């Protein structure tokens, strides 16, 4: 069956904006002003979408808003406007959202461990995926997870790594050199976190996986998508650094 | 898909790569982009679904959130008299600081003795206890 084809814009027949700038039809200032306007418009949608996606439960609302922002950027790039590269946008927002989601759960356990929502959702999560959040919960003087080592990871990550990573992601999205450099630093931190965390869970596997909903495999299915900083590392080391400036 | 990322300029037939991507790393960046889309989608979907999934698994709407908290604590500390205090005093001590009822085999690798909870098993446990209590009251 032949479905009718979606008509695309006749891009090849129209001169792109840089051509128009070169031929003097459009001034360089106009080109830059238009690029800035479109970039700002896209960023508003991306930020609203990113905000919702960082809240966990409202993520599905943020997803289409975020993708609309991406579409504006892609279209602008195709029309020859000087906008941020798609990969920089994707990595910047994904790393930010990843850090926000991680901070959200761990901050609940660290400082809001006696709230009803935490003692219901986090403890249920613990009973289902990882008993580090079920076993002797709220027994340590600081409250929250009592699994050996878990609190140390929370303090190191929520107070140091994730804020650093979020700040770096914002500067990376602004195409600043320090954003690129610090994103490399904090994404390698991500490797340290994963190796240390998985080793800790494996060493204390008896208490973390005894009689929980779906041991080990469910934890991997749930958590594997948090490898996003790993995906950023090859890009950060192979991108042409001249696109970032001070 | 690659048309937008690496268009062919009809004027000089030269490939136009996205800013920051050199020809040598074009394929790597394409695959990274696809993997990032997958992760982004998966993070959003699981982030949205896991809360409703868990509350339903543990008995909502038959049990309220407070009752789920209550039942989880009874299992966790192996103590049928334990209750989930709510609201909890803001600067109070950790609620389970002095508990002595939880069952473990202690050692360098502690092993808990609480049972595994199946799909909506907390509802059954809750109903059975309520029935027991009302029978004892009679």
**% chain B with pLDDT above 70:** 89
- Cα of first residue to Cα of last residue in chain A, in angstroms, is 55
pLDDT at B128: 92
Output the pTM of the full model. 0.83
Q: At residue B58, does pLDDT exceed 80?
A: yes
- Per-residue pLDDT reduced to its tens digit, A182-229: 999 999 999 999 999 999 999 999 999 999 988 888 888 888 888 888
**A14 has pLDDT over 70:** no
pLDDT for residue A31: 84
pLDDT over 90 (residue A109):
yes
CA distance A127 to A75: 46
* Chain B environment of A71 (Cβ under 8 Å): none
The pairs formed by B86-90 with CB atoms below 8 angstroms and a separation of 24 or more are B86/A116, B86/A119, B87/A116, B88/A114, B88/A115
Confidence of residue B90 (pLDDT cuts 50, 70, 90): confident
Whether residue B9 is predicted with pLDDT greater than 90 in this model: the reply is: no
> Does B137 contact chain A (CB < 8 Å)?
no
Rounded CA separation A235/A63 (Å): 23
Q: How confident is the model at residue A144 (pLDDT cuts 50, 70, 90)?
A: very high
- Complex prediction ipTM: 0.85
Q: Measured between beta carbons, which residues in chain B are less than 8 angstroms from residue A90?
A: 33, 36-37, 40
* pLDDT band at B34; cut points 50, 70, 90: very high
pLDDT tops 70 at residue A139: yes
CB B75, CB B58: distance < 8 Å: no
Of the spans A16-30, A104-118, B9-23, which averages the highest pLDDT?
A: A104-118
Pick the range with the lowest mean pLDDT from A10-14, A167-171, A240-244.
A10-14
CA distance A173 to A87: 10
Closest CA to A97 of A200, A213, A226, A234: A226
A chain contacts of residue B75, beta-carbon cutoff 8 Å: 127
Average pLDDT over residues B49-75: 93
pLDDT-derived band at B2, boundaries 50, 70, 90: very low
The pLDDT value recorded for residue A219 is 86
Listed by number, the residues of chain B in 74-133 with a beta carbon closer than 8 Å to a beta carbon of chain A are 75-76, 84, 86-88, 92-97, 99, 102, 104, 109-112, 114-117
| Backbone φ and ψ of A200, nearest 5° | -60, -45
Please state, as a whole number, how many other Cβ atoms lie within 10 Å of the Cβ of residue A170.
13
> What is B32-73 written as a DSSP string?
HHHHHHHHHHHHHHHHHHHHHHHHHHTTTTTS-HHHHHHHHH
Residue A97 has pLDDT above 70, yes or no: yes
Backbone region of residue A209 per phi and psi (left: phi > 0; alpha: psi in -120 to 50; beta: other values): alpha
Q: d(Cα A103, Cα A163) in Å, to the nearest integer?
A: 9
Is residue A12 pLDDT above 80, yes or no?
A: no
Mutate to test the interface with A, among B17, B23, B32 (most CBs of A within 10 A): B32
């Amino acid at each position: 069956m032949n479905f009718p084809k979606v008509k695309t814009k006749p891009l090849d027949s129209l001169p792109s904006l840089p051509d128009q700038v070169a031929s003097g039809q459009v001034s360089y200032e106009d080109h830059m002003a238009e690029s800035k306007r479109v970039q700002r418009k896209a960023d508003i949608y991306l930020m609203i979408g990113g905000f919702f996606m960082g809240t966990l439960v409202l993520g599905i609302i943020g997803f289409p808003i975020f993708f609309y922002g991406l579409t504006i950027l892609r279209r602008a790039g195709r029309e020859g406007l000087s906008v941020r590269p798609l990969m920089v946008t994707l990595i910047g927002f994904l790393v930010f959202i990843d850090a926000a989601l991680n901070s959200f759960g761990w901050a609940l356990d660290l400082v809001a461990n006696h709230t009803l929502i935490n003692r219901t959702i986090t403890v249920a999560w613990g009973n289902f995926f990882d008993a580090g959040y079920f076993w002797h919960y709220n027994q340590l003087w600081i409250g929250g997870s009592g699994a050996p080592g878990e609190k140390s990871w929370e303090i190191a990550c929520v107070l140091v790594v994730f804020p650093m990573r979020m700040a770096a992601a914002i500067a990376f999205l602004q195409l600043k050199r320090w954003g690129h450099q610090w994103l490399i630093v904090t994404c390698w931190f991500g490797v340290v976190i994963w190796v240390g965390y998985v080793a800790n869970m494996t060493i204390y596997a008896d208490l973390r996986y005894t009689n929980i909903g779906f041991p080990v495999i469910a934890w991997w299915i749930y958590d594997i998508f948090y490898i996003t900083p790993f995906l950023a590392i090859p890009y950060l080391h192979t991108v042409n650094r001249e696109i970032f400036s001070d | 898909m690659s048309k937008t990322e690496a268009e062919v300029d009809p004027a000089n037939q030269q490939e136009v790569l996205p800013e920051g991507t050199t020809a040598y790393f074009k394929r790597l960046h394409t695959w990274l982009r696809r993997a990032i889309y997958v992760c982004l989608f998966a993070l959003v979907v699981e982030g949205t679904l896991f809360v409703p999934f868990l509350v339903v698994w543990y008995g909502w709407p038959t049990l309220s959130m407070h009752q789920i908290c209550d039942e989880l604590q009874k299992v966790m500390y192996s103590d049928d008299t334990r209750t989930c205090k709510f609201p909890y005093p803001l600067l109070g001590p950790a609620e389970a600081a002095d508990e002595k009822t939880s069952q473990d085999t202690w050692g360098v690798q502690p092993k808990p003795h609480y049972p595994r909870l199946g799909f909506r098993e907390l509802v059954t446990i809750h109903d059975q206890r309520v029935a027991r209590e009302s029978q004892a009251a009679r």
